[in-house]
Amino acid sequence: MKTMQEAIREKQLLEDFLDEQPHSLSQDSDPDKKFSSHQLKNFQNAVYFGTITIGTPPQEFQVNFDTGSSDLWVPSVDCQSPSCSKHKRFNPQKSTTFQPLNQKIELVYGSGSMKGVLGSDTIQIGNLVIVNQIFGLSQNQSSGVLEQVPYDGILGLAYPSLAIQGTTPVFDNLKNREVISEPVFAFYLSSRPENISTVMFGGVDHTYHKGKLQWIPVTQARFWQVAMSSMTMNGNVVGCSQGCQAVVDTGTSLLVGPTHLVTDILKLMNPNPILNDEQMLSCDAINSLPTLLLTINGIVYPVPPDYYIQRFSERICFISFQGGTEILKNLGTSETWILANMIDRFLQKNVVETGERQPKELPSVCRSAICPRVLVPGSFEVMQDYDWLEGNESRLATKADKWGRVNSCLAQFRISASRKPFSYILPKSKYQNAFRKLARLVAGG
């Protein structure tokens, strides 16, 4: 299967410069211009995360740089939840610059939640330093996705109106305190290991793009929300028929939209799904899938199949479309789409006056970062189970009674997996152990 970049290169949209001179920066910076370029790690093309430090002396953490939420938080040493014990935890007692704020917080995401307290300390991203930055210290985290992700915490890059009341997000402090030269941050997200993914603060490294940058107006100062005028496949309108809103989100790996429209798109794209799951298809069918065309601000952005397909095994692939945006509120539209990190080059500029979050107002049912269904190690293990059972179906079919139990288990798994907006937490925690035990029973019987 071609990489995302290879597919786009065929459409002459990927810069020729990167073909000949892949940009291999780590953490480059320019103190004079107050600009920092920070390397990100790519986890299975689903999550991009990088290193920050908190405290004096610095304590190092891996965080998800997430444009769909606004708060910074990391686990605390006071957290004994399984999802905390598997990650680095901040120890306030070991930082001479930490100040407790004694304010309790709770953050709810699509696939997990955290409860904790606020504190302030020195935050460093590359060469950029913010003193007295307010952040969250998790004291209790839900299991599931937050337990399995490869990063410790989340650094939100959305507008202050989505932040905890009375706090200022990291990017806004970088801007307001003139730690950076320009009120700009940018991402280069690559699925190729030789092209290092990067987040930039204070400007744009122009070696990552060719031609003039296209700036798109933000329609609401909450998420990075823009107006989209159409969505087509093979010349047919499949969404946004009367105009809609789109949220550009680095924190999720799926293209998310209204459930009824996504269901119709999946049926159109995948008439013969694997295990009756319309998101699962044979990888042999990828070349026959259409290119999705998104029109934003008068510019047509092609999304070829390699962008929206993820490979679980040699035979089974996954269509990265998901329903559920009907649960989002206060976005000023009846149809919303979330454009995920399948868009490899993503640039944003803070050009809209921001507002304040009203007391007790929740911006939506879920925050980004892991909403609504990020692909985590557990889900890949489940897909490997699927693949193993499918590959052994002919042999297992001779054991009719046991194969019937396998089908029953798969049916329960599909029902649970379809529940929104909760990721693979339910099927993994409730069915995976039994599923593996059943597979061993059938194989050994």
Q: How far apart are CA 398 and CA 396, in angstroms?
A: 5
User: In angstroms, rounded to a whole number, what is the distance separating the alpha carbons of residues 108 and 3?
Assistant: 34
Indicate which residues carry an active-site annotation: 66, 249
Q: What is the DSSP track for 343-387?
A: SSEEEEE--S----PPTT--SBS-BSSS-S----HHHHHHHHHHH
Query: What is the pairing mode between strands 336-339 and 244-248?
Result: parallel
Distant-in-sequence, close-in-space partners of 443: CB < 8 Å, separation ≥ 6: 392, 396
Find out whether the peptide bond into 57 is cis, omega within 30 degrees of 0.
yes
CA dist 300 to 10, 211, 214, 351, Å?
16, 16, 12, 22
Query: CA–CA separation, 411 vs 59, rounded Å?
Result: 46
What letter does residue 290 receive in the DSSP assignment?
Answer: P
> What backbone torsions phi and psi does residue 83 show, to the nearest 5 degrees?
-70, -20
State the residue for tokens 């194989």. Answer: 443
Query: In terms of C-beta density within 10 A (0-12 exposed, 13-18 middle, 19 or more buried), how is residue 349 classed?
Result: middle
Nearest to 74 by CA among 144, 149, 128, 155: 155
Classified as helix, coil or strand, 409 is: helix
DSSP 170-228: HHHHHHHTT-SSSSEEEEE--SSTTS-EEEEESS--GGG--S-------SEETTEEEEE
Q: Which residues contact 16 (CB under 8 A, 6 or more apart)?
A: 210
C-beta separation of 99 from 112 below 8 A: no
Handedness of CA 228, 311, 65, 73 (dihedral sign): positive
Question: 428 to each of 21, 247, 324, 380, 395, how far by Cα in Å?
Answer: 42, 28, 20, 10, 26
